[in-house]
Amino acid sequence: MVDRRQVMSFRFRAQQLDRARGGLDDTAILDIGVQDTGPDGARWALALRGVDVAALPAEALLLLWTVRGAPHLYRRSDAGAVAAAVEPYSDADAGKRIYDAAKPLKAAGIGNLAALDEVASRMRAIVTRPTVKGRSRAAWPRRCPSRTCDRAGPARPPTCTRCRSGSPPCGPGWNCGSAPHRRCWNASPGSGRRRPRTTGST
């Protein structure tokens, strides 16, 4: 019979947490990306697996937003394979990845892949250096005179009714009250409780 200690030991070893040292090439978690949550979360995860992160060349790793809700760290040498792996298989697959944003695009006769390409192009023009989320979203309305935004719905682009900042209709979207909109959400909807105004997060 397998007991709890054996299971935990197996998981500890499978996660390579038993290593005294290791390199990027043989650190398995980098095959799927290391979630970077909190201050240097991804580098802490590598350090716990024996990687000397202080000695790593600056160009050895790459931080990407891929298919999950946080940036992930990858080997820079794997960038091409990662890009190919997360590419939508089809327009329908792209629609599943952008959730509710697909409906107004379909109503406007705009393909999901075309919309994603448009958003990516405009985001590249906005984010030319490390940029906090709130600043990039605030810049979006000035960058969106295109048919993608014009035809995607009556609110071009969707706008927070309290702070009037916008977001691309085909992603990445957010709801008022979530980062970076905690600064404009000073009451919990439906609760009557007041919330302090805070600054947006990155």
186-199 pLDDT tens trace = 333 333 333 333 33
Tens of pLDDT, residue by residue over 125-151, are 888 888 887 888 788 766 655 555 554
Confidence of residue 65 (pLDDT cuts 50, 70, 90): confident
pTM over cut 0.85: no
Residue 200: Cβ within 10 Å count: 19
Here the tokens at position 157 are 């682009």
The residue among 148 and 161 whose pLDDT is bigger is 148
- What's the rounded Cα separation, in Å, for the pair 142 and 138? 8
- Residue 90 confidence (pLDDT) above 70: yes
**Residue 167 confidence (pLDDT):** 52
**Residue 199 confidence (pLDDT):** 34
- Residue 116 confidence (pLDDT) above 90: no
Sign of the torsion formed by the C-alpha atoms of 77, 81, 86 and 91: positive
